[in-house]
Amino acid sequence: MRTITHFINGAAVEPRESRRGDVFDPNTGKVQAQVAFATRDELDLAVDAALAAQPAWAALNPQRRARVMFRFRELIEAHMDELARLISSEHGKVLADARGDVQRGLEVVEFCCGIPHLLKGEHTAGAGPGIDVCSMRLPLGVVAGITPFNFPAMIPLWMLAPAIACGNAFILKPSERDPSAAVRLAELAIEAGLPRGILNVVHGDKEIVDAILDHPAIEAVSFVGSSDIAEYVYARGAAAGKRMQCMGGAKNHGIVMPDADLDQAVRDIVGAVYGSAGERCMALPVVVPVGERTAQELRERLVRAIRELRVGISTDPEAHYGPVVSAQHKARIERYIQMAVDEGAELVIDGRGLAVPGYENGFFLGPTLIDRVTPEMQSYRDEIFGPVLQILRANSFDEAISYPSRHQYGNGVAIFTRNGDFARRFAMSVEVGMVGINVPIPVPVAYHTFGGWKRSAFGDLNQYGMDGVRFFTRVKTVTQRWPGGTGTSGDAFVIPTMS
């Protein structure tokens, strides 16, 4: 059986120990490969390679690093279909979603091609008599990223592209459920001209995560995953003195106002809920119609649209979405569906028990719709992370906006309306980090920044954009005076003042 190995110092590294994880084909339910789990010694190999390579990479001028990023971008684009097939085969998302996964990561690489401009510091001439002050952004050294299963290309690229462009060396620990895309990206980076040792990939589970968080040579760690794990990773890494950036879970709401274009809203909602089988932290698993008339009409249209969805294998060009990632995750989603029923919600469409002909052992779930949900229900409070939509009815705009604002998660939120006053009030007052106005999945473009509030994010800086540059650099400020200049001879200087 094929073994997915570590990628250290520019080459595949055979594992030293026998611990492995199974990599499934979610379409068939069968094991297709095994991924080697790294030991602390193998992490040391990766860190040693990074430490050796990073000073020369950091000393390279930014435009030369940008040239590598340009070539990396070209290679990712040229290998888009190959990367999408790898993602689909291990994650289960359909090829169109897999290409989108790669494309959104590619856009961050494009942003990082501008790193010479992004790293420019500030300068003040004449801060005092003959005194100038300037600041510069410098790389941290060796940094790391720990990424989830749901975006095997996009989220690694969110992290590694700005980190490397800024002059750091990077250790990537991808999800053990779908690790092949990360290894292929590292190979392409070497082909693009990245020096060996600057990007290393190690695989594993909690054992290697803890080793990364404890390693004294790793200066910063970026993480995306569930909130409970994000909180753990943040606390352990911060206790070890590292800079930490940890993105957690979500329960995103879509507010539907009575004046909304319901045809467009339904199309947007169905795509946002069920695309990629709902395994997205920016999915839209809760809709909040305002008023009973809106709720009833929305429900009727949702039922019709959901009945038209096709669930199929990840290579089926007619399928709207494919299987979920694992048997365990499928069972977890099914438990939440039953929990909602037991809590008194109305199960309108039950996606359990779906079988795709010829793939009866695959990890498939049909689209599920649950109405009459209330804020007290555990199934509402928790992140389900699957093809499940819950309807939470509201009587007014103020009631509707209170639900996402009071929820433990604050990742994304959307409102569907034609009313600019409602939209503006909503955007200004809702207690959520990313807001969409008639946009169901408000993931910011690569030159802005991604990050939620409350238990959706731990740390001060967001992913990619300028926050990504800030996270992977530190500022050095220089105050300088040259003797012999006009007006400086004989002046005493301790602290610059205005006098």
User: Which run of H or of E encompasses 37?
Assistant: none
| C-alpha torsion angle, residues 93, 94, 96, 98 (rounded to 10) | 30
**Those residues with Cβ within 8 angstroms of residue 117's Cβ, 6 or more apart along the chain or in another chain:** none
Question: How distant, in Å, are the alpha carbons of 204, 211, 248, 251, 469 from that of 233?
Answer: 15, 11, 10, 21, 21
Which token pair is 64?
């030369």
C-alpha pair distances (Å), 298 with each of 15, 404, 437: 54, 19, 18
**Residues with a known catalytic role:** 281
Residue 361 to residue 327: CA distance in whole angstroms: 9
Alpha carbon distance 464, 156 (integer Å): 11
CA 161/CA 278 separation, integer angstroms: 26
Alpha carbon 248 to chain centroid, angstroms:
9
Helix H or strand E segment including 274:
helix 262-274
- Angstrom distance (rounded) from CA 251 to CA 333: 14
Pair of tokens at residue 212: 């990364």
Tally of residues, the chain: 499
Please name the residue that has the structure tokens 């003040």.
124
Helix 80-91 vs helix 180-191: crossing angle, to nearest 10 = 160
**CB contact at 8 A, 143 and 219:** yes
Amino acid at 208: I
